Amino acid sequence: MSANDIGQLQQVVSDLLAEAKKQGASSAEAGVHAQQGLDVTVRLGETETIEHTNDHGLGVTVFFGNRKGSANTTDLSPNAVRETVAAACRIARYTSEDPAAGLADPELMATNIPDLDLNHPWDLDALQAAEIARECEDAARGHDQRINNSEGATLHTQNSLFVYGNSHGFIGGYPTTRHSLSCAVLAGEGDQMQRDYWFTSDRLPEHLQSAEEVGIEAAQRTVARLGARKIKTTECPVLFKADLAPGLLRSMIGAIRGPALYRKASFLLDQLGEQIFPDWVVIDEDPHKPQGIASAPFDNEGVATTPRKLVEGGVLQGYVLDSYSARKLGMQTTGNAGGVRNARISSTGESLEQLLKRLDTGLLVTEMMGHGSNLVTGDYSRGAAGFWVENGEIAFPVEEITVAGNLKEMFQGLLAVGADNRIPGSIDTGSWLIEQMTVAGD
């Protein structure tokens, strides 16, 4: 997409805000996005699907004093601008007076918008994309004789553009790119069939893992599961591998988000300033990380984002708030409308091998299933698969088990975070070693 397009989107945002004013709104905010992409899947060596994606959307929120209404559409035409604002205004006639409603305070608007280097388009046609996906799947299928089927390899690339503005006079927007390559294969042995996958994702095509590496990793993960069995129900230490550990940190972030707090629906209620992790744990958020997958110079309300510490010395330093939840709590927004951007937890420095030694005898979890974490109580119970570890060595693959505990206790019982970070995603972490959980099996 070109600079010209961003001008067009800015115009639509300005039109939306002008129209909102014209229709009587006392304040308003608007966002417009456009996205184009290509998805190509190769399966068993043949191109299976070519999908061209092309999405647009606009959204507007109007305020009449403390009452608000929102509307959105996929249509960017001038007609749609008028009608969407009218729909939002109609909604606002019916919503209640809400003292906490409104835009973020004007003095918090981002004034200096840093270029975070998030736009690296990949000039690639469907044939070239298929070639990369084929190379990836070939590497997986050729890696081990037990690989006997495939769900294919998919190359995905997309360019996005968005502009946000509000009636404080703030307007900002920028292009971003995201590319990914994934591969899933099956392996069989006896009457057992297993599937696993691997993927790589980045804003820069040249930062992706190579097609061959992704394929081989998918194959290795799949083959390693062959022969998996259940284990006896037990209590033991559990090591969550680095590619799953972000889920645990997301549970923590979910519990310190504004809506969970003001609704008192959080197991971390009133924990600000309290020790929630061992004292070596530091968790920081860096929304300005160059080329970061979740980086953003301003949040979804135009508020300047700032690097900060969420946890230091194991103590919770701040919540994750937008202006609404901040007002509900009598606090200040933390620039997190839209979520946490690039969280990273400190490491105790061990490699995966060293963590296995430290685990000694227990469970290495490599896959989680289901949605069994309750953020109100912290109760945690999820399906799992992985490996039984004895004396620091992987003994055999396990499946059809659950791991259960309480997130609060799991955080307190965090013994180590490895230096084996794998995915440069929005949450950057190594593997987590947790002192003790209940593993249910036979």
Partner 1 sequence: MTQALNLARETLLDAPGLTEGALSQVMDKLLSHQVDAADIFFQYSRLESWVLDDGIIKEGTHSIEQGAGLRAISGDKTGFAYTDDLILPQLLHAADAARAIANAGQTGRQAIASRSDLPQLYAPINPLDSLSENDKLELMRKLDAEARAQDPRVQQVTVSLVAAHDTVLVINDEGQLAGDVRPLVRMNVSVIVEQNGRREQGSSGGGARRALDFFLEEERALGYAREAVRQALVNLEAVDAPAGMLPVVLGPGWPGVLLHEAVGHGLEGDFNRKGTSAFSGRIGEQVASPLCTVVDDGTMPNRRGSLSVDDEGTRTQNTVLIENGILKGYMQDKMNARLMGLPETGNGRRESYAHLPMPRMTNTYMLPGEHDPQEIIASVDKGLYAVNFGGGQVDITSGKFVFSANEAYLIENGKITAPVKGATLIGNGPEAMTRISMVGNDLELDSGIGTCGKEGQSVPVGVGQPTLKIDEMTVGGTAT
Give the C-alpha separation, 243 to 248, whole Å.
11
Q: Under 8 Å CB-to-CB from 155, ≥6 apart: which residues?
A: 38, 39, 40, 124, 129, 130, 132, 133, 136, 179, 180, 181
| Residue 353 C-beta: closest distance to partner 1, Å | 27
Minimum CB–partner distance for residue 28 and partner 1 (Å): 14
Please name the amino acid found at residue 36. Q
Q: Which of residues 142-161 bind partner 1 (CB under 8 A)?
A: 149, 151
The whole-angstrom separation of Cα 432 and Cα 416 is 6
Out of 1, 18, 91, 329, point to the residue binding partner 1 (CB under 8 A).
91
How far is residue 259's CA from residue 167's CA, in Å, rounded to a whole number?
A: 25
29 has which bridge partners? Answer: 61, 166
Is residue 49 a contact residue for partner 1 (CB under 8 A)?
yes
Part in contact with partner 1 (CB under 8 A); list of ranges 12-20, 157-165, 248-256, 363-371: 363-371
Q: Is 419 in the site for partner 1 (CB under 8 A)?
A: no
Which residue in 339, 336, 288 sits closest to 174, CA to CA? 288
Stretch that binds partner 1, among 22-30, 91-99, 112-120, 207-215 (CB under 8 A): 91-99
Indicate the residue among 10 and 72 with the shorter CB distance to partner 1.
Answer: 72
Segment lying near partner 1 (by CB under 8 A), choices 211-219, 284-292, 301-309, 404-412: 404-412
Least distance from partner 1 to the Cβ atom of residue 232, Å: 8
Residue from 1, 18, 265, 329 touching partner 1 (CB under 8 A): that is 265
Identify the residue among 8, 11, 26, 95 touching partner 1 (CB under 8 A): 95
Ordered alpha helix ranges (H), 28-125: 78-92
Of the two residues 424 and 441, which places its CB atom closer to partner 1 in the complex?
A: 441
Tell me which of 381, 412, 424, 425 binds partner 1, using CB under 8 A.
381
Containing 54, the helix (H) or strand (E) segment is strand 46-64
Site string for partner 1, 273-312 (x = CB under 8 A): ----------------------------------------
| Contact region with partner 1 (CB under 8 A), list: 3-11, 42-50, 335-343, 417-425 | 42-50
Q: Write the DSSP assignment of 161-192 as a string of letters.
A: EEEEEETTS-EEEEEEEEEEEEEEEEEEETTE
Among residues 263, 280, 307, 351, the one that binds partner 1 under rule CB under 8 A: 263
Q: Residue 376 CB, nearest distance to partner 1 (Å)? A: 5
Q: How far is the CB of 311 from partner 1 (least distance, A)?
A: 23
CB of 210 to partner 1, least distance (A): 25
Q: Which of 91/272 has CB closer to partner 1?
A: 91
Work out how close the CB of 291 gets to partner 1 at its nearest, in angstroms, rounded to a whole number.
25
Q: Which of residues 215-234 bind partner 1 (CB under 8 A)?
A: 225, 228, 230, 233-234
Residue in the structure block whose two tokens are 């092309």: 54
50 burial class (0-12, 13-18, 19+ CB within 10 angstroms)? middle
Q: CB 303 → partner 1: shortest distance, Å?
A: 20
Residues 102-141 that bind partner 1 (CB under 8 A): 126
Question: Are the C-beta atoms of 41 and 154 separated by less than 8 Å?
Answer: yes
Taking CB under 8 A as the rule, does residue 357 contact partner 1?
no
Task: Name the one range near partner 1 by CB under 8 A: 87-95, 198-206, 209-217, 427-435.
Answer: 87-95
Cβ atoms of 122 and 39 closer than 8 Å: no
**Residue that the structure tokens 């990914």 belong to:** 180
Q: Does 54 bind partner 1 (CB under 8 A)?
A: yes
Q: Does 235 interact with partner 1 (rule: CB under 8 A)?
A: yes
Q: What CA–CA distance (Å, rounded) separates 270 from 283?
A: 18
Between 66 and 119, name the residue whose CB sits nearer to partner 1.
Answer: 66
Task: Tell me how far, at minimum, the Cβ of 163 lies from partner 1, in Å.
Answer: 18
Residue among 370, 391, 393, 395 that touches partner 1 (CB under 8 A)? 370
Residues 306-335 that bind partner 1 (CB under 8 A): none
The residues in 164-223 that bind partner 1, with binding defined as CB under 8 A, are: 186, 192-195
